[in-house]
């Protein structure tokens, strides 16, 4: 990570938190936080957290954390952006360690797919 790069230089919804690249978004009323470790030997998320809105009376579109909610998470786009940001920060894992990022994940096999 370079000292010239700050969270202000990152796309909306992304921030640096020490050695973590964090993406925060709202999805059907739920708060989604995806963390990528900058020092990890892989590209892609290290953790995903889904929380209800801060206001318990706020309307959410789903009835709890459902498979539909999970499938609607744009993980391929998040992985692609994280990979680009890691490269910009000088934290690339290398071609051999980087997995294939699918444009759209639809089947159970694709959810489990983590590389060539």
User: pLDDT of 34-71, one tens digit each?
Assistant: 999 999 988 789 999 999 888 877 777 778 888 988 99
Is residue 38 within 8 Å of 89, Cβ to Cβ?
yes
What pTM does this model have? Answer: 0.72
Helical ranges in the chain per DSSP H: 67-71, 75-88, 108-112
pLDDT at 42: 86
When the pLDDT of each residue in the chain is averaged and rounded to a whole number, the result is 81
76-90 pLDDT, tens digit per residue, is 999 999 999 998 888
Q: Residues of the chain with pLDDT > 70: what percent? A: 75
Closest Cα to residue 23, out of 15, 1, 75? 15
pLDDT at 102: 52
């Amino acid at each position: 990570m370079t000292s010239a790069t700050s969270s202000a230089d990152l796309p909306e919804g992304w921030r640096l938190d020490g050695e973590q690249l964090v993406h925060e978004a709202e999805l059907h009323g739920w708060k989604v936080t995806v963390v990528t470790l900058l020092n990890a030997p892989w590209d892609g998320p290290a953790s995903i957290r889904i929380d209800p809105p801060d206001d318990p009376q706020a309307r959410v579109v789903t009835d709890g954390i459902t498979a539909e909610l999970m499938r609607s998470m744009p993980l391929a786009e998040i992985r692609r952006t994280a990979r680009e940001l890691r490269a910009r920060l000088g934290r690339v894992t290398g071609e051999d360690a980087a997995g294939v990022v699918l444009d759209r994940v639809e089947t159970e096999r694709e959810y489990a797919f983590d590389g060539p």
